[in-house]
Structure 1
Amino acid sequence: MTGNISRGFGSPGKYIQGQNELNNLYKYTDLYGKNVSVIIDGFLFNDIKALLGKIYQDDSNVNYVKFSGECSVREINRFKLESEKFKSNVIVGIGGGKTLDTAKAVSGELSIPVIIVPTAASTDAPTSALTVIYTDEGIHSDFICHKKNPDIVLVDTAIICRAPVRLLVSGMGDALATYFEALANEASDTENYVGEGYRRTMLGMMIAKLCYETLIEKGLHAKIAAENGCCTEAFEDVVEANILLSGLGFENTGCAGAHGIHTGLTELPEANSYFHGEKVAFGTICQLVLENKSPELIDEVMGFCTSVGLPVTLGEMGIEDNDDTIRIIAKHSVKEILSEPFTITEESVFNSIKTANGLGKIYSNKCH
């Protein structure tokens, strides 16, 4: 329970979303100065650099840096030194979560603005004031809470639509947890992730609810649109839900059982080939079982997951569903589930995972 009676809400300075919005990047960087340092995902580097070379009439004012693959202290320091040498006025991060987190960290170190440009709608991290730090070998080591959220989040849905569809679906899995985790945090009166932690605003809770409603109503249509390379309004709405609504939702209301069970799943090497949101989706079902939610609600969530291709069983993530394996997940989940409004034990988490997996098997068999 939070000891703070004040309410807090955090968000990026601006959120802009639309087809070919990256072509307008210069308009936004010009707000902060002429010297721009851009960190770009390695596999996108040549294409993005060529595009930006056409956008900026004089790209001698643009410093292009290829991301190494890990948001590590060494990579942050490398980019920080390059940006200082270039006398950068603004940092731009273009790519996936680790690239964007590195850009946020450098911006924080140098106290200059940052523009975040995600190239997939696979997580809700772009809007947040958080950076997750890894070792050079890719092992999670720490996280940073920045003084502010990104100045601008720029989402080019033409680029998002060309990304693998599985990334969009994974983003739906991450966003699926937002409302249920918000409700758990509200019930337990746990502080959110804004600054040093505040109580939730009404707006934060309404955003989390709208996120869930958008997924249920439009998620399948968005997936089909993406499979056919179409930026429909349903696709645009789900991209907004994955990035903006879920991002504002989790930061302003908090995480709970779904992300805790995700952490437990990461202890299994066989789960490493599955995306964050895919594991969170299964964790959401486990949380609903843990909280004794209605069969109708669990059925709705499972129906959504199976319709878009999110896992509802351990087997669908390549994990053996024996008791020893489930016990490992439960043991490493329980210490992360701090925001539920009742006492959590390893046994209760074990039972929720095993039951959710059993329900998922029945649902999968029924659907096939």
Structure 2
Amino acid sequence: MLINGGFKIEYGRDIIRNLFNTFQDSLVITLQEIWDALETSFSEKPDQILFVETLEIDELEKLSEENRNFSTLFGLGGGRAADVAKFLHWKNGATLFQIPTIVSVDAFFTHEIAVRDNGVVKYIGDAIPELIYVDYDIIQKAPVELNRSGLGDILSCHTGLFDWQLADRSGEKPEWNEQLAIRTREVLNDVTANAAEIQKVSETGIQMMMEALNWIGDQCYVQKHPRFEEGSEHHFVYNLEYVTGKHFVHGQAVCLGCFIMSMLQENEPEKVLKTVRETGVDIKPESLGVSWDEIRDTFLSLNDFVIKEKLPYTILYEKDITENFLKKIKMALAKPY
């Protein structure tokens, strides 16, 4: 596999069964529904389980104070569990292990922690796991649509690179890095070439996405910025969360953002849509649990949102989203999937 770099990952089947037998003073950070589904996958229970509900910074500060006595932390779940586990690790210094149960987000592979401050995404801290356990049995138990959505934080390189180059031409930092751009496109091409494996959620598809997400997370740390993989497509998702007050499968929402922003950029939207369809990610608004009116409100407030939140320079600083553009989006998304 061409992709490498980042945190240490162990791949296999049934590799987490006896995990909690090895560690004392262990705390598992997860969601109630995830633990209910996976409890029998472990031979023993951890010392304590923390069921997370929010990423609001004030609540996370309280959780860190209440859970200072644990020496080992396990993040079990998706992005929310991963970020809460990272926050407690960062605040309290406990050893961190991550156990992804779906491939839907890059949170397991990034140093920074995505929290919410009154509903708005903020990145803070520095978290480094001891090991990430990728158990194929666990991941393949999850609904396929959740695993396929791991494409989002990889496909975002397509729109992210465009936005970064646009920002560089406007004199914004960080400066464009052609070698990083070339390597990023290679990683993206490696992943899209395996669209069928991702659609099947095969071992090959899982590992390909994990390795790509790990490389992306590592490069965000090395380069000290995420401009090559995060731009207007993520800013759309942040505003969607803010406008609706809802939580989304991150990668699925980002895939929708990638398609729409590639249309605004005039940056091969047909190529983006082809990849999304081949991997089986459903980006229709109803699949995310939002109405067209909510999508419309998100987009019509997006230009103002990025300015108010002082988000990095993207196409949204140069092009306004109009009613005519929204009509094009609605027509494109209404076509047979």
Alpha-carbon distance, 1:97 to partner? 1.6
Match status 1:308 vs 2:279: yes
- Match 2:74 to one of 86, 89, 92: 92
What corresponds to 2:185 in structure 1? 209
What corresponds to 1:263 in structure 2? 238
Whether the 8 Å contact between 1:116 and 1:126 is mirrored in structure 2 is yes
- Match 1:275 to one of 234, 237, 249: 249
Match status 1:220 vs 2:196: yes
What corresponds to 1:41 in structure 2? 31
Match status 1:291 vs 2:265: yes
Q: Radius of gyration: which is bigger?
A: 1
- Match 1:14 to one of 4, 8, 19: 8
How far, CA to CA, are the matches of 1:214 and 1:333 in structure 2?
33
Amino acid at match of 1:100: A
1:121-158, Cα deviation, whole Å (9 max, x unpaired): 011111112333358xxx62563521343333222222
Amino acid at match of 1:253: P
Whether the 8 Å contact between 1:208 and 1:249 is mirrored in structure 2 is no
CA gap 1:200/1:249 in 2 versus in 1, 3 angstroms: farther
CA gap 1:200/1:155 in 2 versus in 1, 3 angstroms: farther
3-state SS of the aligned residue for 1:185? helix
How far, CA to CA, are the matches of 1:73 and 1:325 in structure 2?
26
CA gap 1:83/1:48 in 2 versus in 1, 3 angstroms: farther
CA gap 1:338/1:349 in 2 versus in 1, 3 angstroms: farther
Q: Normalising by the residue count of structure 1, what TM-score does the alignment of the two structures yield?
A: 0.71
- Match 1:185 to one of 160, 164, 168: 164
Number of residue pairs matched by the alignment: 320
Match status 1:236 vs 2:207: yes
Whether the 8 Å contact between 2:106 and 2:217 is mirrored in structure 1 is yes
Amino acid at match of 1:95: G
Identity across aligned pairs (percent)? 16
What corresponds to 1:71 in structure 2? 55
How far, CA to CA, are the matches of 1:350 and 1:245 in structure 2?
38
1:37-72, Cα deviation, whole Å (9 max, x unpaired): 332332233565554445xxxx7xx52213142234
How far, CA to CA, are the matches of 1:52 and 1:291 in structure 2?
47
* Backbone CA RMSD of aligned residues: 3.7
Amino acid at match of 1:172: L
What corresponds to 2:141 in structure 1? 162
Alpha-carbon distance, 1:274 to partner? 5.2
Whether the 8 Å contact between 1:267 and 1:329 is mirrored in structure 2 is no
Amino acid at match of 1:66: L
How far, CA to CA, are the matches of 2:149 and 2:276 in structure 1?
10
3-state SS of the aligned residue for 1:277? helix
How far, CA to CA, are the matches of 1:40 and 1:325 in structure 2?
30
CA gap 1:349/1:119 in 2 versus in 1, 3 angstroms: farther
Amino acid at match of 2:204: E
How far, CA to CA, are the matches of 1:331 and 1:320 in structure 2?
14
Alpha-carbon distance, 1:216 to partner? 1.9
Amino acid at match of 1:214: D
3-state SS of the aligned residue for 2:109? coil
3-state SS of the aligned residue for 1:236? helix
